[in-house]
Chains A and B, each alone.
Chain A
């Protein structure tokens, strides 16, 4: 043990030496710096200049100081280094002698400067090196610095009195040495020393102690050894004290058997120490003495068998220390005494002494320090930090030590300990309330500050806490909570009686603690208790009592509105756990109604708010129950929706109450809130009611219908909040229909299910119609427009889906086209572009739908296919839409203008595709050609360029398909004749188109060549037809005939392209004749070809020659 102690001391000394040596070096450097010839004058001069500047600025009133002071030139004129301060300052106050102003060079601001330096760049140095005036820095008035000692003053102070070396070497080293010495003595006395008996050891200890004291007394008179002497004196007293202690408590030095004698001796030594320390009035000396004394009593120093005396001995020591501390107001020493006393006592451990004696000793300690604190409080002055710590540390140590003893000696009576200490602190509370009443504090003093400055708040807090501990140590469950309630109520009433807030706050905290305990511990624990044959939760009576007390407190002190809230919360809690789930929400709702009614009647806002909160709870409870019923977690009542209906009615009544109550009944926020939340709650309850009552498939429909009713009320401002709720309810319903009816809709569902979406469409349209018909005062134009657009869009979407589900596949396209038609006409009639947009979209959907189910379908009625029956009307409807667009052009929005042409092209596409599938891949060319002709006719008649271009495109398509398929239709039974007829028809259509176009076309651009286009198509196609149908042998002849025909027709038609086509065909024939026929044809056919073609050529030539004059007219 001793080796550990020695090592610890050595380490402490070494560390301390390191710290001190570092400080010494630092101080040495500073001293050298200050004493150096170069820096000291400069520094002093700078300090001088700064002080002058500060003085001047302090002399200026703040309102005279500009916000941004101009750069101040040196206010101190250049002072020669040899001039005296008095002479230089003139009539100024004399400056300290050490200040010798010198001319300074500008330098960077130092860290320790308490002023802000001017950061403007220094002026350029003059040509001749002249002493530059001291620059006085500008000072920012925005950040005034506290007026403390300047640096020079601090330096002077540090240099006064004892030298640093004396402080370190003479004082600290001395104290350390004494400490070590005393400890050595203690060790010496404590351990066996074979050569010396107990008496000898005690005598040695006494001799050393006395020697140290005597030495100290002797050399104390010499100023040089003053500090050293004090160290000896302090150590001597400590050694004497310990020796006295050892003489009766340490076996190795025990010479006194009577403890009372030993105690008296110790008291005498302590008194001597105190008396001696008072002579010096030095806290350090006295503190050192006490420290040594305490150290000697610690088991680390004296590991002697623990005796009661070693603990009892602490009492007079502590008492003397407290007396000194109180006498000289050495608060730090008092705190040290507290720590040392309790620390020493705790380090001794349990001696096994009887409980009463130990507790008596602890009480003595506690009384000593509590008394000290009470006496200190009686001074009614502000506490230092050290003093503030005495009360809590005393309590902590006292309670802790007592608890440790009691937990071993009488654990079953711990509540008595808590109660006893609580009573002690209650007494302390009363005494403090008298000695340091709250009125003695400044009104703005905070509670914590009061508690730490001797006020009653600290002890009463301890009293409350200890009482709680006593209650919970003694009781459990409901009795404990009742006890807590009683204590809390007592505190509340005390606070009320004495008009003090803190006890009330403590009471409130205890109430909160009780409730918290109930919620966190008792409530999850479950169980039941029986009261008057009624099974309730074990905590229910406590909660009920709490509610009563809370309401009573709320009545006693109207400012404490939170008691009202707490009371209502307690009742809500009881209802929540005691009521069966089906009635839980309803009971909360009834509570809400009662609270609100009471608040409304008595004009008490807090009760109304409680009503709102309880109402929210009620709605939640109802919602949870309904959800549980829905998911099978709770059994439904016979009429599970009654609670919802009641909630809806009550909520709506609340909304009407908010709407109709007089101004003094409700605040404005309440009125708005009631109106809003009540209506929201009513709407929610109605939606939930619909959810409970209606089958799942019809729920969305029900919500939408409900929204219609709510909208009507909203439009009639009953209240107007309902409008928004109606929109949301409708949206909810629409979403429900969308996800549960629209998306999974199947055309093989039962008819009733398939009708749901159509019915939803009807409701959506009704809502759109209602909002459209609403007057301006009912809703804003923007709102009406937006709601109408959304509702009608949803209606259209659902209608299309409903038609899809209800009708056969082939009819859906025409049905959608009908919808588009109706929407379009409605859009025109009501001048609603959104309806027209929906019409366009529905029309587009119809267009796409035809490609899914109509073109390739093989259904037919007799000889007429379903595709013909369905696609043609849709195409016609598109032409109708186009015509309507043209008529209503002036009313259309800009985005609608191009859509008319889209209808025109869509109709043409439908017709073309219809022909493709009605006539087949090949024979479709007849239809296309005829259609191209028709389009051209109407395009010319109506001067519609789109129709004409459709004709051109379609003619090209027909030509292309004719050429690639050679008019050969495998599915046709017509054979060769069919092919020729088909080809002839197409070619005839092309020629007819050619003839319809005037020779001198008025068209511009590419259209100028339309006639030639058709002519070439026809001629080429005829040549192709001949190529495939005439075969190789007489093909040349056939083409020659065609050429002649083209030429002959070209003259009367005055068609140059046709004639040139004939001429070109002749050229082809000639080439073919020599390139192919000559080599490949049989002789007979070859000859025939040559002859016939030759004749043709001659004939044509003759015609040209013979009828030259007539021909000239056509050329």
Chain B
């Protein structure tokens, strides 16, 4: 037996364990890692079909326009608010990957705190959400999130099979295939949301908006929607059971819990803290209140600088 090697390995384990008890802790126990690995596999496999049936930007926008007409009866469009929202989104556009997509923004008069995106750049924001956000930075984060869904092809991927088969003259079959596809790929919908969160955050940050706006928005939304905190089991059996239950729930959940979104965003910001340190970002509470976009006017006192630590 080589005692030196043994001592080294044992010391490494011991040191790792000791250091892991320091710093910020995350006591959550779950099977999220297994779920993510599984959804990774699903998404990678799904990409075969997506690559084969990929549609052009023009076709995607046409599909998006058709779908947008279908949701027009949700409520009256607020023209003034739409103009404001469109103006807020403009600084974000250059940072997107797909320049061929022409985004259109719609503000619907509805008390719902919600926003969604359709293929081809159709972004819908409910006026309830506009009332809920507290700053233009938060609005930019929301818009960035929805635009990311389009940019990352999350939206069009839900219509690709149907569109291709419709083009091939089998629209009913296309609808059936698409339903099956959505059922199979249901599992990585939360992952797509987290990706959209991350890219939305990046878009708003690169547009000069406050990086902490989006986590703050989700934290407030958790309170507003009365989302329960995730229970933490205290026994081994409870831990396994809770983890299994959570894993199963996660597969059928369209959005991750706001608590997790906040944690992920904060973690992302912490990792990029050095890049952001010393830079000044705009919050824009007054802009939101006055419906004047940052690109038109920057109010004093609306900027904040990210500290190094």
Contacts and interface: CB of A to CB of B under 8 A. Distances in A.
Interface of A: 743-749, 801, 804, 807-811, 814-815, 817-818, 821-822, 825, 828-829, 851-864, 866, 869-870, 872-874, 876-877, 880, 883-884, 913, 916-917, 921, 960-961, 963-964, 968, 970-973, 975
A973 B272 contact: yes
B243 A852 contact: yes
Contact of A852 (B14, B30, B43, B275): B30
A961 B40 CA distance: 9
Contacts of B240: 852
Contact of B16 (A856, A857, A870, A921): A870
A960 B45 CA distance: 9
Given A859-B20, A963-B47, A971-B202, 12 more contacts: A745-B235, A746-B235, A810-B25, A810-B26, A821-B10, A828-B1, A853-B28, A857-B26, A860-B24, A876-B13, A883-B5, A970-B152
Contacts of B34: 851
Given A743-B237, A744-B235, A808-B27, A970 B198 contact: yes
Contacts of B21: 808, 810-811
Interface of A is mostly: helix
Contact of B202 (A814, A917, A961, A973): A973
B226 interface: no
A861 B23 contact: yes
A814 B12 CA distance: 10
Nearest to B202: A973
B37 A916 contact: yes
Q: Which of A852, A874, A975 has the most chain B CB atoms inside 10 A of its CB?
A: A852
B44 A877 contact: no
A846 to B, nearest CB: 10
B167 interface: no
18 contacts: A745-B235, A745-B236, A804-B236, A809-B28, A814-B14, A861-B22, A862-B23, A864-B19, A873-B15, A873-B16, A876-B9, A880-B6, A913-B33, A970-B196, A970-B202, A971-B195, A971-B198, A973-B272
Contact of A861 (B19, B33, B148): B19
Interface string B200-233: 0010011000000000000000000000000000
A870 B19 CA distance: 9
B23 A856 contact: no
B264 to A, nearest CB: 8
Contacts, number: 163
Contacts of A968: 97, 152
B122 interface: no
Contacts of A810: 20-21, 25-27
B268 interface: yes
Given A744-B235, A851-B33, A874 B13 contact: yes
A856 B37 contact: no
Interface in B32-63: 32-34, 36-37, 40, 43-44, 47
A859 B26 contact: yes
Given A825-B1, A855-B33, A968-B97, A814 B13 contact: yes
B20 A917 contact: no
Contact of A851 (B19, B31, B97, B234): B31
Q: How large is the interface on B (under 10, 10 to 19, 20 to 34, 35 or more residues)?
A: 35 or more
Contacts of B95: 975
B13 A817 contact: yes
A873 B152 contact: no
Contacts of B268: 971
A289 to B, nearest CB: 97
B33 A961 contact: no
B101 to A, nearest CB: 14
A869 B19 contact: yes
Interface in B142-194: 148, 152, 191
B31 A961 contact: no
B286 to A, nearest CB: 28
B131 interface: no
A457 B21 CA distance: 94
Contacts of B40: 916, 921, 961
Contacts of B234: 746-749
Contacts of A975: 95
Contacts of A815: 17
B26 A858 contact: yes
Interface centre among A859, A860, A883, A970 (most CB of B within 10 A): A970
Given A745-B235, A858-B263, A825 B6 contact: yes
A877 B26 contact: no
A391 to B, nearest CB: 78
A811 B240 CA distance: 17
B270 interface: yes
A744 B238 CA distance: 9
Nearest to B45: A964
B135 interface: no
A869 B268 CA distance: 19
B24 A859 contact: yes
B126 to A, nearest CB: 24
B267 interface: yes
Contact of B267 (A749, A852, A858, A964): A858
Contacts of A854: 33
A380 B46 CA distance: 112
Contacts of A853: 28-29
B10 A809 contact: no
A697 to B, nearest CB: 15
A445 B175 CA distance: 103
B239 interface: yes
B199 interface: yes
Given A811-B17, A859-B23, A880 B5 contact: yes
B1 A856 contact: no
A815 B21 CA distance: 12
B98 to A, nearest CB: 10
Given A852-B243, A857-B28, A873 B47 contact: no
B121 to A, nearest CB: 17
Contact of B20 (A814, A818, A961): A814
B13 A818 contact: yes
A815 B18 CA distance: 10
Contacts of B20: 808, 810-811, 814, 859, 861, 866, 869-870
Given A748-B234, A973-B275, A880 B28 contact: no
Nearest to B36: A856
Given A747-B234, A811-B20, A855-B33, A866 B9 contact: no
Nearest to B3: A825
B1 A808 contact: no
A414 B1 CA distance: 100
A921 B239 CA distance: 26
A916 B199 CA distance: 18
B302 to A, nearest CB: 23
A421 to B, nearest CB: 78
A835 B180 CA distance: 50
A963 B14 CA distance: 39
Nearest to A960: B44
- Chain A to chain B: the 9 pairs with minimum beta-carbon distance, closest first: A861-B23, A855-B33, A970-B199, A971-B198, A746-B234, A964-B47, A873-B16, A859-B26, A857-B26
Q: Point out which of B29, B37, B196, B199 has the most chain A C-beta atoms below 10 A from its C-beta.
A: B29
Given A829-B1, A852-B29, A869 B16 contact: yes
Interface string B129-147: 0000000000000000000
Nearest to B95: A975
Given A825-B1, A851-B34, A801 B236 contact: yes
Contacts of B195: 970-971
A474 B49 CA distance: 107
A866 B275 contact: no
Nearest to A810: B20
A697 B272 CA distance: 49
Nearest to A746: B234
Contacts of B6: 821, 825, 880
Nearest to B97: A968
Given A825-B1, A873-B12, A809 B29 contact: yes
